[in-house]
Amino acid sequence: MKLKTLLATGLLAAVMASPAVAQQISIKAGVLNDRSGLYADLSGEGSVIAARMAVEDFKAADKGIKVEIVSADHQNKPDVGSTIARQWYDQDGVDLILDVPTSSVALAVSQITKEKNKILINSGAGSSDLTGKACTPNTIHWTYDTYALAQGTGGAMVKAGGDTWFFMTADYAFGQALERDATAVITKAGGKVVGSVKTPFPGTDFSSFLLQAQASKAKVIGLANAGGDTVNSIKQAGEFGITQGGQKLAGLLTFISDVHALGLQAAQGLVLTEAFYWDKDDQTRAWSQRFAKANGGKMPTMVQAGVYAGMLHYLKAVEAAKTKDTAAVVAKMKATPTDDALFGKGSIEANGRTIHDMYLYEVKKPSESKGPWDYYKLVSTIPGKDAFQPVAESGCNLPK
Amino acid sequence: MFELLGVPPQALFGQVLLGLINGSFYAILSLGLAVIFGLLNIINFTHGAQYMMGAFVAWMALNYLGLNYWAALIVAPIVVGAVGIAIERLLLRRIAHLDHLYGLLLTFGLALIIQGLFRNQYGSSGLPYAIPPQLSGGQNLGFMFLPNYRAWVIVASLVVCLGTWFLIEKTKLGSYLRAATENPTLTQAFGINVPLLVTLTYGFGVALAAFAGVLAAPIYSVNPNMGGDLIIVVFAVVVIGGMGSIMGAIVTGFALGLVEGLTKVFYPEGAATVIFVIMVLVLLVKPAGLFGRQA
Amino acid sequence: MTDLATTEAPAGSIALADTDDSTARLHRNLFIALAALLVVAPFVAYPVFVMKVLCFALFAIAFNLLLGYGGLLSFGHAAYFGMASYVSAYTAKQWGLTPELAILLGTAVAALLGTVFGALAIRRQGIYFAMITLALAQMVYFFSLQTPRFTGGEDGIQAVPRGKFLGLFSLADDRALYWLVAAIFLCGVLMIYRIIHSPFGQVCKAIRDNEPRAISLGYRANRYKLMVFVLSATFAGLAGATKAIVFQLASLTDVYWTMSGEVVLMTLVGGLGTVFGPIVGAAVIVAMQNYLASLGSWVLVVQGVIFVACVLLFREGIVGVIAKWIRKPL
């Protein structure tokens, strides 16, 4: 009975679809991210939902493109991530991998993707090396990177008068990259970095470092850390009356999921850069409401939004190229301007960097918020061309 | 920038105080671990997860039952302690006669299960928990701004630690406990219900962890991983103090918090490792730890 | 405190095995079966996955040499595994060494590290021994974190070339590399098997079972302990160095304490103090990590349940239980 209906619908679908296209292209997309650890909330299952929504919105089935989505947990370990990526490419016939937060895993997967000549659309990782000195012709980097975050938070803060900085930097390569990029931006904009402290990663108690930051009298305390470190340092900054003392906190890599974890009481006044905020305009609101319904009421993060946009753009390129051949699709992706409901209009550079606007937000006071997830007010918009590193400076030497 | 001589004494004083406050978490946690190890001979790897549960129960009490921080301070240890008692009765008891290693593995497995379940339910980025209004704000001590909450943490942990020490070293119940630690068979022969004592001790040790969890909730991120890495450090504290030594755990807890605090000033990158360096040195010089008796 | 292998695992009875012809024959047949399995495996399963299993199996066997036959529980074996993988990755990438030289160099560094750490650690026993090894391993982790020039920080050393074996045969193809890894694995297993059943191994077991007695018989217990420690660290290093070439990657995960915990787990699941147990244990754990990867956060729960079940129900481990059934040490 069940089999019969299944067969019938299948036949029906085939009959309906066949006149529209000459041939069927079937694609297998793998969403590889953290599903159990620190970054599970900002990527995780939400990214899979976002990828599925992209397939729905593109109406892939009607256009003769069959898409299957698989997912796995890389546990933030490069060796686990690279095993899965190899297996997906070699054995399971996966055509592209999406998301991949955690820079170390992303860099490993990017190398494998090049070796196997497939496509990686990265949304979750922040390392600007992905489109810099470690760039490959097969990697597209969506959403954000350390350079853009530094441009947004560093540059805009200096312009707003926050011209002396103290950094609390998580003691690992990613934290140091954030600090390095932000320092360059701040000095260029006429600001000054008066001090910094390297905090063991991951850390729990930041009060000692906050005291050092307080003593530095810097106007802005830059948090070059992520995840639990950021949450802990902001929570304790509130406790030590840092913001009441007139110093501003600037999160260099803070996601809406972190703000949600902190609550507005603790996070208010924090300044941060994001590529996407659900409440930005009607289009993002409509999409995000749909997303939240599928994701247990949780609003999307910019990483999840980036997976959606990247998947959508990929599908458009496949449709236009009429093939899933890697070189052809990547060429199409880079040649076609990006345009979607979430990131607006943009483009993909020769090195694989996606260019779109970034936004500097300030976290609302509890009294300003109208309800759950109403967290940000816009401070300024950073045009894409200013936010991201120009190809010439990126250190990527891919031919145009 | 912060050279040894470049640190003004006042700033150093502030750091010493902060170190002691962090030490108070180590003290309560290592105390629980030491009590459990003393009587059960089990290295309770679930301790970190139980600490995390304490913080989560505080959050649940607030959000589901409307119980405030002060109520949570009592409710959470009881609830988590009860879970601990169930664990002891159902699982740990079965392996009591075996080597430490199995106890360690069993509790490690339990920690994974608890962490996994909480992660499924509440996600990994954490939950907000505010400082109780009575304790918000702080005092300007001249050399530093001391949040009221931190002052409360150090007082509360001192009271709990000394209370526990008194209970174990100076009361009749404590003397049973120490007797059972020395020689359970003989103690049993004197008509003391040793299995019950073991169960209650485990429950008590776990309750201490939960208490520390509630204390931590307003200032540290409340997330399922909060106890994961801590357990290794706390374990090191217990070893340095001397396995099973109550006073050793308390004193070492505070002292190592202090050392760690000072490291954060002079060599911040090394703050997470300094405890292990100390552990190697102590074990090579004093094999049974600072306060332990050589077997 | 160190008598865990004797009271629980069937290891104690292995001493009898060496005189027992039928057991020797059984082991020989099992090794032949293992070799046959190695030949067939890459055609049935995904080669990279099999290589991962082999690397971890070798690591677990090395660990088991120390715990199962030396009675010493090290909680810091990640140090040798990880350091060797860094050295092998670094020399292959930066110095352009051929893979076999890179692996040898990595192994040598692990042996050296094992000698230094072993000399410090064997002065203490039981839980204190475990804690010293853990602490020393944490220092290695700290060193790795603080020297990004060498280790690449948390990004690790990426894109390590697989290179050409002896400068002649390219290992870029998974199958080609597989034969090298299988050969290394088999050599490692056979060497450890030889060590366990040599007079040296017998003395180690004697020391494990009753140290004062062994000393009174005139054996210098500490020398034997150090030797078995160094051997264990060396083979752990061999496993780590090979892994770096297989995955073209060396990262902080390999030196973190959770890696030390994982190898304990593999050994126990497979069967402590058995020859074949760690291999089975490694295969089970790696397969779990691989195939449960899509379960997300349930992986932790499943892993935890397996731990608990292992301790409560299968304390001897999978191979230990089988050995009990057939009444022969495996």
Contact A43, A101 (CB under 8 A): yes
Do A369 and A225 share a structural domain? yes
Q: Pick B149's closest partner by Cβ from A198, A200, A239.
A: A239
CB < 8 Å from C in window 173-232 of B: 232
Residue A229: inside a domain, yes or no? yes
Q: Is the pLDDT of residue C261 over 90?
A: no
pLDDT band at C268 (very low <50, low <70, confident <90, very high): confident
pLDDT for A157:
87
Predicted pLDDT of residue A400: 59
**Interface confidence (ipTM) of the complex:** 0.84
Does residue A17 lie in a domain region? Answer: no
The share of chain B scoring above pLDDT 90, in percent, equals 55
Q: Which amino acid is at A72?
A: A
Q: Which chains touch A (3 or more CB pairs under 8 A)?
A: B, C
- Residues A223-241 have pLDDT tens digits of 999 888 899 999 999 888 8
Distance CA A145, CA A355 (A): 11
Put simply, the answer to whether B113 touches C1 (Cβ < 8 Å) is no
pLDDT at residue A202 above 90? no
User: A245 contacts in B (CB within 8 Å)?
Assistant: 145
Q: Which of A161, A204, A203, A153 shows the shortest CA–CA distance to A183?
A: A153
**How confident is the model over C12-16, as a mean pLDDT?**
43
In this structure, are A35 and A124 located in the same domain?
yes
pLDDT per residue over A78-132, tens digit each?
888 988 999 999 999 999 999 999 888 999 999 999 999 999 999 999 888 899 9
For B77-86, B136-145, C253-262, C276-285, which range has the lowest pLDDT when averaged over its residues?
Answer: B136-145
CB pairs under 8 A between A and C: 90
- Cα–Cα distance for residue pair B168/B166, rounded to 1 Å: 6
Label each residue of chain C as H, E or C.
Answer: CCCHHHHCCHHHHHHHHCCCHHHHHHHHHHHHHHHHHHHHHHHHCCHHHHHHHHHHHHHHHHHHHHHHHCCCCCCCCHHHHHHHHHHHHHHHHHCCCCHHHHHHHHHHHHHHHHHHHHHHHCCCCHHHHHHHHHHHHHHHHHHHHHCHHHHCHHHCECCCCCCEECCCEECCCHHHHHHHHHHHHHHHHHHHHHHHCCHHHHHHHHHHHCHHHHHHCCCCHHHHHHHHHHHHHHHHHHHHHHHHHHHCCECHHHHCHHHHHHHHHHHHHHCCCCCCHHHHHHHHHHHHHHHCHHHCCHHHHHHHHHHHHHHHCCCCHHHHHHHHHHCCCC
Q: How many CB pairs under 8 A join A and B?
A: 116
Residues with Cβ within 8 Å of residue A50, at least 6 apart in sequence: A291, A300, A304, A305, A307, A308, A311
* pLDDT tens per residue, range B124-140: 888 999 999 999 888 88
Q: How far is A323 from chain B (nearest CA, A)?
A: 39
Q: What is the pLDDT of residues A9-59, one digit of tens each?
A: 555 555 444 444 456 899 999 999 998 888 888 998 999 999 999 999 999
Q: Give the per-residue pLDDT at A18.
A: 47
- Cβ <8 Å between B22 and A262: no
Residue A271: strand pairing partners: A250, A362
Domain shared by A69 and A211, yes or no: no
Q: Is B120 on the interface with A (CB under 8 A)?
A: no
Q: How far is CA A294 from each of CA A53, A346, B261, C67, rounded to the nearest angstrom?
A: 10, 27, 45, 49
Q: CB-hemisphere CA count at 13 Å for A275?
A: 35
Mark yes or no for CB contact A261/B223 under 8 Å. Answer: yes
Q: Is the pLDDT of residue C6 over 70?
A: no
Domain that holds residue A227: 151-274+358-387
Domains, chain B: 17-111+137-285 (1.10.3470)
Q: Does C294 touch chain A (CB under 8 A)?
A: yes
- Is A305 found in the same domain as A374? no
| Strands A25-33, A96-99: pairing kind | parallel
pLDDT band at A7 (very low <50, low <70, confident <90, very high): low
What chain C residue is nearest to A75 in terms of C-alpha separation?
A: C293
Cβ separation of A228 and B229 shorter than 8 Å? no
The mean pLDDT of B12-20, rounded to a whole number, is 87
* C297-327 pLDDT per residue, tens: 687 888 889 889 888 888 888 899 898 888 8
Angle at CA A138, nearest 5°, toward A134 and A139? 60
Flag whether A222 is in a domain. Answer: yes
CA C303 to the chain's CA centroid: 20
Mean per-residue pLDDT, A302-325: 95
Q: Stretch C268-291: mean pLDDT, rounded?
A: 89
Domain count, chain A: 2
Asked whether residue A137 falls in the same domain as residue A184, the answer is no
Q: Is the pLDDT of residue C7 over 60?
A: no
pLDDT of residue A6: 52
pLDDT, position A299: 95
Mutation target vs C (from A43, A68, A104, A113; most C CBs, 10 A cutoff): A104
Residue A398 token pair? 């891919």
- Give the pLDDT score at C95: 94
C296: which chain A residues are within 8 Å (Cβ-Cβ)?
Answer: 35-36, 40, 44-45, 73
- Predicted pLDDT at C12: 41
Q: What is the CATH number of domain C4-326?
A: 1.10.3470
pLDDT above 70: percentage of residues in chain B: 96
Residue A159 sits in the same domain as residue A262 = yes
d(CA B260, CA C46) in angstroms, rounded, equals 47
The residue among B3, B145, B152, B221 with the most chain A CBs within 10 A of its CB, best to mutate, is B221
Query: In this structure, is residue A343 part of a structural domain?
Result: yes
Q: Residue B286 CB: number of other CB atoms within 10 A?
A: 14
Q: What is the pLDDT of residue A9?
A: 53
B268–chain A Cβ distance below 8 A for any pair: yes
B125 versus A251: which is more confidently predicted? A251
Nearest in space to B287 (alpha carbons), one of C116, C134, C128: C128
DSSP state of B279: H
* Token pair listed for B267: 């060599």
Q: Do A227 and B229 touch (CB under 8 A)?
A: no
Compute the nearest-CA separation of A160 from chain C (Å).
Answer: 34
pLDDT of residue B104: 84
Rounded to whole angstroms, the Cα distance separating A264 from A375 reads 7
The Cα–Cα gap between A328 and A117 comes to 12
Q: Are C296 and A44 inside 8 Å of each other by CB? A: yes
Q: Is there a domain that residue A397 lies in?
A: no
Q: CB–CB of C294 and A171 under 8 A?
A: no
Alpha helix stretches (DSSP H) within B41-99: 47-60, 69-90
* Shared-domain flag, residues A231 and A285: no
Selected residue of C308, C313, C314, C316 to mutate for chain B interface (largest B Cβ count, 10 A):
C308
Q: Are residues A237 and A376 in the same domain?
A: yes
pLDDT of res. A171 = 86
* Residue B228 C-alpha, separation from nearest chain C C-alpha, in angstroms: 11
Residue A299 domain flag: yes
Residue A80 lies in a domain: yes
CATH code, domain carrying A180:
3.40.50.2300
**Amino acid letter, B222:** V
Question: Percentage of chain C surpassing pLDDT 70?
Answer: 93
CB contact under 8 A, C132 and B102: no
Contact criterion met (CB < 8 Å) for B113 and C128: no
CB contact under 8 A, C253 and A173: no
Share of chain A above pLDDT 70, in %: 94
Query: B57-66, B92-101, C200-209: lowest mean pLDDT where?
Result: B92-101
**Does C170 reach chain A within 8 Å, measured CB to CB?**
no
Same domain, A254 and A155: yes
**Do A39 and A93 reside in the same domain of the chain?**
yes
Mean pLDDT of chain A: 90
Q: What's the confidence (pLDDT) of residue B268?
A: 86
CA distance, residue A23 to nearest chain C CA (Å): 31
pLDDT band at B14 (very low <50, low <70, confident <90, very high): confident
pLDDT recorded at residue C243:
95
Q: What confidence tens digit (pLDDT) does each residue in A320-366 have?
A: 999 999 999 999 999 999 999 999 999 999 999 999 999 999 999 99
